[in-house]
Structure 1
Amino acid sequence: MLRIDSIAKRNMPQRVRSPGQPLRVLVLEHDDAVSDALSVLVADLGHAVCGVARTEIEAAELAQRERPDLALTDVRFGGGDGIATARRLNLDHGLRSIYLSGNSDHGTMARITETYPLGVVHKPFSHAQLKIALDLAARRLR
């Protein structure tokens, strides 16, 4: 049986990236201090933040307009459900996520896995952990 996720992926245009090309990252984080810190960290790692969304509506608008390569998605995005937001961004815009999560319980991880994530970085995380996740994501998106 084909899942709707698989059908949507086949119908979405694929982004083509050159090796070594900086990623265009959409940050999905409702906390201003955290989103600012993430933006600086992503830039320090040689990538570009093309937008910061604090709500699902903003995330969809930015995904449509900016065409980012990936989203850094807080599992508790907007104080709600970042996993559901990531699923919709994937279905509607072909945008995949690296999740930032303070939760590593089985239920949360199972839901994350169903969205075909590019990675998961557990909070609190280090500069090196985010670098590895972004490097792996860049390879997966080639």
Structure 2
Amino acid sequence: MPSDATPDLSTVIGANLPYLRRYARALTGSQSTGDAFAAATLEAILEDQSIFQTTNNAKVALFHAFHLVWASAGAPLGEADNRLSQKAQDHMAHLTPNTREALLLHAIEGFTHEEIGAIMQIDTNEASELVHIAQREMADAVAGRIMIIEDEAIIAMDISAIVKEMGHSITGIARTRTEAVALASREKPDLILADIQLADNSSGIDAVNDIMAQFDDVPVIFITAFPERLLTGQKHEPAFLITKPYHEDQVRSAVSQAMFFASTETLIA
């Protein structure tokens, strides 16, 4: 921030930047494109900080600034770099306009319908309806086999119940890196939900990368109490990252999107 920016504003932007990047990454389907728009947002704020005077909620103002930049550019997607990316973008073309943004803001970033209205400059009722439309369209689009990598039995059972209720099947639950690789070898999943810290102190990230060595087209959602380990600003960040403790809507949203958009980005250790 420039020297005339208040320390409080700089601190708030710094604290929320990883989450803005997460939103931009999922919204565009591309880490590089998402980061480019996040950077453009910061540049716009450097030139004009007045947007932060319109609300007492600095996080809402930051995301509103991003939305203005994103919308003014025509809400573009990242360039498709493989067959699955192109398939995901083809699916995206059939969604009702503005629903994806509203759903991400609500279910992944935790904004209320009122805050979404402020970010997108629409009324609260319209924001609520956009979220519901997105949930219906994505949940109805695909069903598949989901693998869970989670060492806490209660959490694993809860996630399993949510996923089954959505119409998906569970290939199994793995508690360690070794179990995860063996499970994936027996039956290839259509989606992986993974914690990053497992029972034997092994890494869910390593487990996912081992599985990716076998199958390079499986989307992954990380569910973790340590999001800072993944939102580092480096390459190969996950498209979908849910922070513990999570809400059921967050899991539903991420699963629907990952299946619908066939996201394949994961981490390289």
The amino acid across from 1:81 in the alignment is: S
Higher relative contact order (CA 8 A, sep 6+): 1
**8 Å Cα contact 1:73/1:98 also seen in 2:** yes
The residue number in structure 1 matching 2:225 is 102
Letter in 2 for 1:62: L
Larger radius of gyration: 2
Post-superposition offset of 1:141: 1.6
Structure 1 position 123 matched with structure 2 position 244: yes
State the identity %: 24
Equivalent residues in 2 for 1:41-120 (5 A)? 41-78=162-199, 79-94=201-216, 95-105=218-228, 107-110=229-232, 114=236, 117-120=238-241
Question: For this pair of structures, how many residues does the alignment match?
Answer: 129
The separation in 2 between residues aligned to 1:123 and 1:129, in whole angstroms, is 10
What stretches of structure 2 of length at least 5 have no aligned partner? 1-81, 88-139, 264-269
RMSD of the TM alignment (CA)?
A: 3.0
SS at match of 1:134: helix
* TM-score, length-scaled by structure 2: 0.42
- Residue 60 of structure 2 corresponds to which residue in structure 1? none
Query: For residues 150 and 221 of structure 2, what CA distance do their matches in structure 1 show?
Result: 12
- Could you say which residue in structure 1 is the equivalent of 2:112? none
Corresponding residue of 2:161: 40
**TM-score w.r.t. length of structure 1:** 0.75
**What secondary structure, in the 3-state scheme, does the structure 2 residue paired with 1:110 have?**
coil
Distance 1:111 1:131 in 2: 26
Question: Which has more helix, going by share of residues?
Answer: 2
- Residues in 2 aligned to 1:98 and 1:119: alpha-carbon distance in whole angstroms: 5
